[in-house]
Amino acid sequence: MLGAVTGGVELALRSGAAPLLLGLRWAKRRSRRRQRGVPAVRRGVTVAAKVALDEFLFTTELVSATIVSRRERRRVAQEVDEALALFAKRGWLADPARYHESPPPLEAASFDEIAGPGLAYRHLRFASGYEPHPGEPGRERWLGYAANRTAHAWLIKHPGRMRPWLVCIPGYRMGRPVVDFTGFRVRWLHRTLGLNVAIPVLPLHGPRSVGWRGGDGFLTGDFLDTVHAQAQAIWDVRRLVGWLRSHGAPAVGTYGVSLGGYTTALLAALEEDLDCSIAGIPAADFVRLMRAHVPDLLIRAASRVGFSFENAERLLRVVSPLALPPRVPRERRYLYAGLADHLAPTDHARDLWLHWERPRVVWYHGSHVSFLWEPEVEALVREAVTATGLTPRGLTPPA
């Protein structure tokens, strides 16, 4: 009961402060300079309407998201300091690839056949098997998230001969079939482009949730949980990709949006045999993303209680796609981003594009949410799966 009352008070305070926080965020955004190498956005009513969708989504997140309490912030800062010492000692900060162990092959899995939504699919379940390294701060807490220890994926497969698979990695707060199928336009990928589609559920999302809604705990300021969530995401997707290959997949590509774009980029630095990597509206730096949305006065307040964003940035290096060279060949990398994105600012996509050695990129005149109906996005995904050979032979996607 006390927790419910405390949560209600916090929600009321945040709701009342929302206009001020949104104003400070807008002022911070307006002070940013245009990013070099990024085209200028076309201003107008259409783009403004798309931006409004981003702002609505951000406002709902602001007043409802679970965040680390004041009582927990000193514990978080202490864990970060302890983890940095351990990570430096074991060489993971100097070589983040060493932090990621190769997972064992996936052998035991179970299926449920589901007749919706709009498409029949299989619900795949398997024991994740991921564990933080012995001695890591936050290890026991992470292993205590019981629902998260089972991995899930939605599989949409054509009958008959085996076709290539596109592994679609969802964004933050996704993880349910209706949302995931809509966000990736699965019917179009499956029926028009002729692909088999696999959608893994990210840690702490969907049926793996440990909070009152999917995603709670992934990006809430508990930075060791963020490290472990991202490391487990990579572990689980690598096991899924290996399982698809062991069951006859002639080719496997990955396509992620938002947080899934981040995961796709990190996966491309650890798996060289992927046939295609598409990063859509990607985040590229968790701490920078937080700085972009949190007013400076709150950042200074966190510093006064001993928290260092610089230390958090160093810690997250072990799961950063910008800290590792890509292993997927440049001609198989694709990227798209919205020039009016108010959730994952354009500097994230630009930095990933530069890190990826300037592969094929599309900058569309829209926001984070509007990628769903941007024709340039559809054209790029079609181009990527066609140019890399994922589209089955004999099936030419319509222009």
Mean pLDDT computed over 42-55 = 89
Return the pLDDT at 70.
65
Q: Which of 378, 365, 371, 173 is nearest to 281 (CA)?
A: 371
- Domain positions in the chain are 1-31, 35-387
Residue 392 has pLDDT above 70, yes or no: no
Quick one: pLDDT at residue 58? Answer: 79
Lowest mean pLDDT among 34-48, 189-203, 250-264: 34-48
Task: To the nearest 10°, report the CA torsion of 126, 178, 385, 100.
Answer: -40
Find how far residue 214's CA is from the centre of its chain: 13
The pTM score is 0.89
Answer yes or no: is pLDDT of 191 > 80: yes
Provide, rounded to the nearest whole percent, the portion of the chain with pLDDT above 70: 83
- pLDDT at position 230, please? 98
Examine the pLDDT at 269 and tell me if it is beyond 80: yes
Residue 304's pLDDT is what? Answer: 63
Give the CA distances from residue 42 to residues 53, 70, 374, in Å, rounded to whole numbers and listed in that order.
17, 42, 14
Cβ atoms of 76 and 307 within 8 Å: the answer is: yes
- Return the higher-pLDDT residue of 32 and 371: 371
Residue type, 4: A
Mean pLDDT of 146-173: 96
Q: How far apart are the C-alpha atoms of 102 and 120, rounded to whole Å? A: 32
> 35-387, superfamily in CATH?
Alpha/Beta hydrolase fold, catalytic domain (3.40.50.1820)
Confidence band (pLDDT; 50, 70, 90) for 126?
Answer: very high
What's the mean pLDDT in 278-295? 88
Q: Among 53-62, 179-188, 193-202, which stretch is predicted with the lowest mean pLDDT?
A: 53-62
Sign of the four-CA dihedral 379, 381, 384, 385:
negative
Q: Which residues contact 3 (CB under 8 A, 6 or more apart)?
A: none
Identify the pLDDT of residue 37: 78
Q: 15 pLDDT exceeds 80?
A: no
CA–CA gap between residue 333 and residue 358 (Å, rounded): 9
